[in-house]
């Protein structure tokens, strides 16, 4: 294992279209370590972090962004767009992959997971990000790096009470799962005619949540495919605050749906959002970074 091996891997990644394609499907650092091993490069997560912090590419080699027509942000109207996956025949390939992606890795400890549920944190999703009481709570949490100060720096993070599937690579089903993620990317790139990357693959067991956040460090359009293990008796929801009006919008969810929204960086346009699954069903969401003109492909199907 070495930082040099990690650096050598990053160099070949940069030059190889095949590896670039592979990387579009992974979001976890453990996944990159595993991918490196597959190509004969041995390194661990700290070595990868060290190599990537000092990794520079030759001048003039940065990939060129494609020129596309981008619609201006709406002055009014909803900031989200939702569709039924079944209404988009061009995305049928995604429906076929869902059974391979909706996994429950055996490396997840269900008792430890339910033990980290906190009523106080869940309650914060009922507040408005514009409320000074929320802002004070949020600031205190941020200062504590979303960890309970009483439990020390190794305490679990409180803002993600869910399972990030991409952090679980040491289970027998991982390779099959990764193959399905690759097929998902192929389907989406064909559909949008442009580059698409996974942004996250999340399993929301019963009574799970992702607290209010903005994703401002990764601005751009997101597409999420949402599905359940069975028809939920109640409903999970996605909630956001419209930055133009501070109105809180709560969107109920149903199986096999697709949602688009845009993460913004401008302090006046931040897209505060949170997700809660209070049902007894299991919810999965698969997120993608999609091109700015994603709606052109959708409109062609309607
Ligand atoms: Fe988010």
d(CA 244, CA 168): 38
Asked if the structure places residue 68 within a domain, the reply is no
Structural domain of 167: 81-111+159-301
Residue 159: name the closest of 196, 211, 234, 197 by CA.
211
Cα 290–Cα 294–Cα 295 angle in degrees, nearest 5: 150
pTM: 0.91
Give one word for 35, left, alpha or beta, with left for phi > 0 and alpha for psi -120 to 50: alpha
pLDDT tens per residue, range 211-239: 999 999 999 999 999 999 988 788 999 99
Tens-level pLDDT at each residue, the chain (302 residues): 688 999 999 988 888 999 999 999 999 899 999 999 989 999 999 999 998 887 765 544 444 444 556 666 677 889 999 999 999 999 999 999 999 999 999 999 999 999 999 999 999 999 999 999 999 999 999 998 898 878 777 788 899 999 999 999 999 999 999 999 999 999 999 999 999 999 999 999 999 999 999 999 999 999 999 999 988 788 999 999 999 999 999 999 999 999 999 999 999 999 999 999 999 999 999 999 999 999 999 998 87
pLDDT tens per residue, range 91-100: 999 999 999 9
* Burial (CB count <10 Å: 0-12, 13-18, 19+), residue 129: buried
* Burial (CB count <10 Å: 0-12, 13-18, 19+), residue 158: buried
Asked if the structure places residue 104 within a domain, the reply is yes
Asked if the structure places residue 95 within a domain, the reply is yes
Sign of the CA dihedral running 14, 177, 109, 160:
positive
Compute, in angstroms, the gap from residue 199 CA to the centroid of ligand 1.
10
Residue 42 shares a structural domain with residue 96 = no
Residue 99 shares a structural domain with residue 10 = no
- DSSP per residue, 5-38: HHHHHHHHHHH-HHHHHHHTT--SHHHHHHHHHH
Residue 185 shares a structural domain with residue 44 = no
Asked if the structure places residue 119 within a domain, the reply is no
- The whole-number pLDDT of residue 68 equals 56
Asked if the structure places residue 106 within a domain, the reply is yes
Asked if the structure places residue 252 within a domain, the reply is yes
- The whole-number pLDDT of residue 59 equals 46
Compute, in angstroms, the gap from residue 3 CA to the centroid of ligand 1.
32
List, in order, residues 6 or more apart from 265 with CB less than 8 Å away: 216, 217, 219
Residue 180 shares a structural domain with residue 96 = yes
Residue 86 shares a structural domain with residue 204 = yes
Residue 253 shares a structural domain with residue 186 = yes
Count of domains forming the chain: 2
CATH of the domain at 170: 2.60.120
Compute, in angstroms, the gap from residue 200 CA to the centroid of ligand 1.
9
Compute, in angstroms, the gap from residue 198 CA to the centroid of ligand 1.
13
Helix (H, G, I), strand (E, B) or coil at 189: helix
List, in order, residues 6 or more apart from 57 with CB less than 8 Å away: 14
Residue 296 shares a structural domain with residue 176 = yes
Residue 228 shares a structural domain with residue 99 = yes
- The whole-number pLDDT of residue 87 equals 95
Asked if the structure places residue 60 within a domain, the reply is no
Residue 50 shares a structural domain with residue 164 = no
Residue 107 shares a structural domain with residue 256 = yes
Asked if the structure places residue 153 within a domain, the reply is no
Q: Crossing angle for the helix pair 92-101 and 174-192, nearest 10 degrees?
A: 160
CA 257 to chain centre: 16
Residue 171 shares a structural domain with residue 297 = yes
Residue 168 shares a structural domain with residue 50 = no
240 touches 199 (CB < 8 A): no
Compute, in angstroms, the gap from residue 245 CA to the centroid of ligand 1.
20
- The whole-number pLDDT of residue 224 equals 98
Compute, in angstroms, the gap from residue 9 CA to the centroid of ligand 1.
30
- The whole-number pLDDT of residue 152 equals 76
Compute, in angstroms, the gap from residue 30 CA to the centroid of ligand 1.
21
């Amino acid at each position: 294992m070495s930082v040099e091996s990690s650096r050598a891997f990053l160099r070949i990644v940069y030059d190889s279209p095949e590896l670039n394609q592979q990387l579009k499907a992974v979001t976890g650092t453990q996944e990159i370590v595993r991918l490196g091993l597959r190509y004969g490069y041995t390194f661990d997560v700290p070595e990868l972090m060290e190599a990537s912090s000092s990794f520079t590419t030759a001048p003039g080699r940065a990939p060129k962004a494609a020129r596309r027509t981008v619609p201006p942000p709406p002055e009014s109207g909803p900031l989200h767009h939702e569709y039924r996956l079944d209404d988009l025949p061009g995305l049928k390939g995604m429906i076929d992959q869902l059974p391979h992606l909706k996994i429950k890795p055996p490396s997840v400890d269900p008792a430890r997971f339910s033990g980290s549920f906190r009523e106080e944190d869940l309650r914060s999703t009922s507040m408005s990000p514009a409320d000074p009481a929320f802002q004070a709570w949020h600031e205190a949490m941020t200062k504590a790096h979303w960890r309970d100060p009483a439990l020390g720096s190794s305490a679990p993070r409180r803002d993600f009470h869910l399972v990030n599937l991409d952090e679980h690579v040491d289970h027998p089903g991982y390779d099959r799962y990764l193959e399905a993620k690759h097929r998902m990317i192929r389907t989406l790139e064909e559909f949008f005619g442009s580059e698409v990357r996974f942004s996250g693959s999340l399993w929301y067991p019963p009574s799970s949540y992702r607290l209010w956040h903005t994703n401002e460090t990764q601005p751009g359009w997101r597409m999420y495919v949402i599905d359940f293990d069975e028809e939920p008796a109640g409903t999970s929801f996605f909630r956001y605050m419209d930055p133009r009006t501070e109105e809180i919008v709560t969107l109920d969810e149903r199986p096999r749906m697709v949602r688009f929204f845009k993460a913004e960086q401008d302090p006046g346009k931040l897209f505060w959002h949170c997700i809660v699954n209070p049902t007894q069903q299991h919810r999965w969401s698969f997120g993608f970074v999609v091109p700015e003109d994603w709606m052109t492909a959708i409109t062609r199907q309607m």
